[in-house]
């Protein structure tokens, strides 16, 4: 991934405060989705939890509070968990090392950060401790108009073709495509979105700098340039079989809905489908020849899980549109609520009057006709490049603007 | 169709009484599904209706009774209907001619006849006035374990292949395959069932002796030998575009459920699908490549009409099995109820004690191990060949027996 262009602004690391540094450290010590750590973080400060692990002393939480959060877990289970996490202490980098990791275009995003996608809070105790990101898109602004498109690694030419068409069409219509970065359907989904100059997000089961699969180094570089590579594991982490399954819940949770394009009867894509269904998110599947084993999983979830049969991007968007309009910037579980952009109740379209000052300025800076590049807009709006990028992402996700050959332009309907 | 073997027994014509002769005549005079005639037949004797047409005088029914049956139809509408039917009077054969038509392996089946399938009564006023049949199967006994399998004439090789596999598998499992006798999916459905030595029923939009499509003369001969060719139109009738649409309701009504294998967005198969849905019968569709226009109709009814996505015969049978067990011999709208074979309430399986004497004798004649041919069974049971054929059909439809290499054998579960 050394070929990935440096992020021009969004990826410049924020200084890690004590809490964020602790969350970063926890991604080194505990596997994501650890129910004991999830429960602890719901009632304790991350820095206290980290200190407790280092001291090998359970953190100071009331028995009742802890029991209420971690359910059946006893003090003994907490002790075992501490021992489990302590195993990795010798490999935990020093604070300076962790800070180093969040450089070179890699950034840490924690609950409460502006870029934290509140949809992840739906995962409850299984919520990621933090996310490591690499790339130029804004995760929070991409999520409200995003679709997970996943499927078999052993895809057929039919599956690859159909995935590419659907992902490109989604990208052209301003929807971000979330997938897992694997060979086969995942790669076709990312490539289709990239071809349409859309945003695409690869959620990996290894570090965002770890070249797996090795053949996808160029693909990941292209994704970083135009979208995001995301991981719950710290930089340098290797993939593992169980990590793919753990990762799948994040693919399902980030997007408004999940589409399975090809999946054999035992494909890991069905695990992602299960997570989407469990989260109450729309689950869709693309049918294929009944003579193809790679479509058998799709047909089964249509028949048995009531997945919606979809054949093209327009049908996918039709399924998701009622869900994509609610306030994408609502604070959710964020302890530092930011100002929410309200949607006007009449037409479900975002209202210009509710944009924050920077976004309103950037929107005003776009020419009435034709498009403009990012730096032109920055000069016109009088804001720095970081802010322009953030605002453009937000305005695009709200449907005010869209990409064009010459950069960005107003969308017609937003001018009425 | 001159090459069709003569029916050995079932097709020998019953003498036509006055009522049956009148119903036969009505199939010459009125197009099937005529709502005024359907309403009239619900309250009048068919012979009276025929006499009224001949006399050009409305039949003697109370205004109130008629209004209740034919809804908005007024006395004027009845007059117009009489005029419509009288147009064909010059072409109506004499009684002897009609009786002649029901020879040569062609038979007339009317409501109330033993072979009348009571499921057709679900059509209400659109119920056929009578059916013309040709072939060796028993219509009433085939219907309780039957599936309509229909689709595009312009089928792809994929569609033909999948249809053949499914129909053969249905035939092997003792399910009759109902279809429309057309090129493409219909032909593949009939051929698949025939290949598995299963029963198949072609419901035509022309006379059962009319060679349409011409290329299917051999197919229809093979269907007659092993199943049935059925029509609402009298022998010699030509097909017409509207007749195919009228005919589709019978395809949907005869079977326990309907499967669409391939259908373009405007395929006539979707008309059959609509009838199945309107009748409250299970509607299923086989998916295909989303890149194939011939599968677009299938995908649409899965998505928009909640058709069940099915990929093989086992899934079709699973959908229908709860519906195939209710009393297949219940009198329904029959004015001459025959003795019903009751199902034992415990396990939904037909009970041996409720079989009529002939069936019980035929069942007892089957050897405990291995199979026996029809004539062997006739000798053993001491009944004539007609009766053996009828009883074997009934016993098979009730699940007591099944076909095998050497003829017929007991099904295992029936012996417990």
Look at A110 and B399; give whichever has higher pLDDT: A110
User: Is B303's CB within 8 Å of A303's CB?
Assistant: no
- The yes-or-no verdict on residue A264 having pLDDT over 80 is yes
pLDDT in the model for residue B308: 97
Query: pLDDT value at position B15?
Result: 62
Minimum mean pLDDT range among A3-12, A114-123, A211-220, B29-38: A3-12
A350, pLDDT greater than 90 = no
> Token pair 């001969």 is at which residue?
B221
- Report helix, strand or coil for A365: helix
pLDDT at B344 over 80: no
Nearest CA in chain B to A300: B309
Please check the confidence at residue A6 and state whether its pLDDT lies above 70.
Answer: no
Confidence of residue A65 (pLDDT cuts 50, 70, 90): low
A299-324 per-position pLDDT tens digit: 999 999 999 999 999 999 999 986 44
Tell me what pLDDT residue B412 has.
61
Give A305→chain B minimum CA distance, Å: 11
Q: Would you say A177 and A189 are in contact if contact means Cβ atoms under 8 Å apart?
A: yes
The count of C-alpha atoms lying within 13 angstroms of the C-alpha of B2, restricted to the half-sphere facing its C-beta, is 0
pLDDT higher than 70, residue A68: no
B287 → closest Cβ in A161, A288, A315: A288
Query: For residues B308 and B284, is the Cβ–Cβ distance under 8 A?
Result: yes
**Which of A81-90, A393-402, B170-179, B365-374 reaches the highest mean pLDDT?**
B170-179
pLDDT of residue A389: 82
Average pLDDT over residues B152-174: 97
Q: What is the pTM of this model?
A: 0.75
B310 touches chain A (CB under 8 A): yes
Helix (H) or strand (E) holding A163: helix A157-172
pLDDT in tens, B283-327: 999 999 999 999 999 999 999 999 999 999 999 999 998 644 443
Contact B133, B109 (CB under 8 A): yes
- Decide if B153 contacts B189 (C-beta within 8 A): no
Instruction: Tell me the C-alpha distance between A255 and A148, whole Å.
Output: 6
List the single residue in B161, B290, B308 with the smallest CB-CB distance to A311: B290
Residue of B nearest to A285 (CA): B303
- C-alpha distance from residue A158 to each of A122, A164, A289, A316 (Å): 34, 10, 9, 19
Report the candidate in B7, B64, B65, B77 with the shortest Cα–Cα distance to residue B35: B77
Chain A hits for B286, CB-CB cut-off 8 Å, are: 290
Chain B residues in contact with A299 (beta carbon < 8 A): 287, 309, 311
- Per-residue b/e over A130-148, b at no fewer than 16 CB within 10 Å? bbbbbbbbbbbbbbbbbbb
What per-residue confidence (pLDDT) applies to B62? 56
For A401-413, write each residue's pLDDT tens digit.
Answer: 887 777 888 876 4
The answer to whether B288 contacts A290, with C-beta atoms less than 8 Å apart, is yes
At A61, the pLDDT band (50, 70, 90 cuts) reads low
Nearest by CB to residue A162, choosing from B286, B290, B308, is B290
Tokens (6 digits) for B311: 């990929």
Q: Is the pLDDT of residue B164 over 80?
A: yes
- Whether the CB of B157 is below 8 Å from some CB of chain A: the reply is no
Tell me the residues of chain B between 266 and 295 that have a Cβ less than 8 Å away from chain A. Answer: 286-291, 295
Q: If you measure CA to CA, which chain A residue comes closest to B290? A: A311
Residue A64 banded pLDDT, cuts 50, 70, 90: very low
Residue B350 has pLDDT above 80, yes or no: no
Partner residue opposite B287 with nearest CB, options A158, A162, A290: A290
Q: What would the pLDDT profile of B41-94 be if each residue is shown by its tens digit?
A: 988 999 999 999 999 988 776 544 554 555 455 677 888 889 989 999 998 999
Which positions in chain B touch A302 (Cβ < 8 Å)?
Answer: 287, 302, 309
Q: Which residues contact A355 (CB under 8 A, 6 or more apart)?
A: A341, A363, A395
Q: Is the pLDDT of residue A12 over 50?
A: no
**pLDDT band, residue A14 (cuts 50/70/90):** low
What is the reported pLDDT for A172? 95
Whether the CB of A57 is below 8 Å from some CB of chain B: the reply is no
Mean pLDDT across the stretch B372-382?
81
Give the confidence band of A336 by pLDDT, cuts at 50, 70, 90.
very low
* pLDDT of the residue at B52: 93
Q: What's the whole-number mean pLDDT along residues A124-129?
A: 94
Long-range contacts of B211-219 (CB under 8 A, 24+ apart): B211/B1, B212/B238, B212/B239, B213/B181, B213/B182, B213/B183, B215/B183, B216/B181, B216/B183, B216/B187, B217/B1, B217/B3, B218/B3, B219/B181, B219/B187, B219/B190, B219/B191
The neighbour count for residue A380, using CB atoms within 10 Å, is 16
Residues of B in contact with A312 (CB under 8 A): 290
> Taking residues A39-65, what's their average pLDDT?
83
Residue A302, chain B, CB below 8 Å: the answer is yes
Report the distance separating Cα A16 and Cα A187, nearest Å.
33
Q: Is the pLDDT of residue A66 over 60?
A: no
Instruction: Give me the mean pLDDT over the A23-31 stretch.
Output: 95
Percent of chain B at pLDDT exceeding 90: 59
């Amino acid at each position: 991934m050394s070929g990935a262009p440096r992020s021009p602004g969004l990826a410049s690391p924020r200084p890690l405060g004590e809490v964020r540094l602790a969350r970063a450290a926890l991604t080194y010590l505990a596997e994501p989705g650890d129910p004991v750590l999830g429960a602890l973080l719901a009632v304790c400060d991350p820095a206290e939890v980290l200190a407790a692990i280092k001291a090998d002393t359970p953190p100071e939480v009331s028995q009742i509070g802890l029991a209420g959060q971690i359910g059946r877990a006893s003090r003994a289970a907490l002790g075992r968990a501490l021992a489990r996490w302590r195993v990795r202490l010798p490999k935990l980098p020093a604070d300076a090392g962790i800070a180093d990791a969040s450089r070179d275009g890699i950034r840490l995003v924690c609950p409460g950060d502006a870029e934290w996608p509140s949809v992840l809070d739906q995962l409850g105790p299984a919520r990621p401790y933090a996310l490591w990101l690499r790339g130029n898109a804004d995760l929070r602004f991409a999520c409200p108009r995003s679709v997970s498109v996943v499927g078999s690694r052993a895809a057929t030419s039919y599956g690859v073709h159909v995935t590419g068409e659907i992902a490109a069409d989604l990208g052209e219509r301003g929807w971000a495509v979330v997938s897992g970065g694997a060979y086969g359907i995942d790669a076709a989904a990312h490539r289709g979105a990239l071809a349409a100059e859309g945003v695409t997000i690869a959620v990996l089961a290894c570090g965002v700098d770890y070249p797996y699969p090795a053949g996808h180094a160029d693909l990941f570089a292209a994704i970083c340039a135009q979208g995001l590579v995301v991981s719950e594991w710290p930089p340098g982490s290797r993939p593992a079989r169980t990590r793919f399954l753990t990762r799948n819940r994040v693919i399902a949770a980030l997007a408004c809905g999940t589409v399975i394009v090809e999946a054999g009867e035992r494909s890991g894509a069905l695990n992602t489908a299960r997570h989407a269904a469990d989260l109450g998110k729309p689950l869709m599947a693309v049918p294929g020849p009944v003579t193809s084993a790679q479509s058998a999983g799709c047909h089964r979830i249509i028949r048995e899980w009531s997945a919606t049969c979809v054949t093209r991007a327009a049908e996918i968007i039709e399924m998701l549109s009622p869900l994509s309009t609610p306030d994408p910037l609502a604070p959710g579980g964020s302890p530092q609520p930011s100002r929410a952009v309200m949607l006007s109740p009449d037409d479900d379209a975002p209202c210009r009057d509710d944009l924050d000052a920077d976004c309103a300025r950037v929107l005003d800076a776009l020419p009435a006709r034709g498009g403009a590049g990012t730096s032109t807009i920055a000069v016109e709006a009088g804001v720095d490049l970081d802010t322009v990028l953030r605002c453009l992402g937000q305005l695009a996700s709200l449907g005010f603007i869209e990409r064009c050959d010459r950069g960005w332009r107003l969308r017609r309907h937003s001018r009425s």
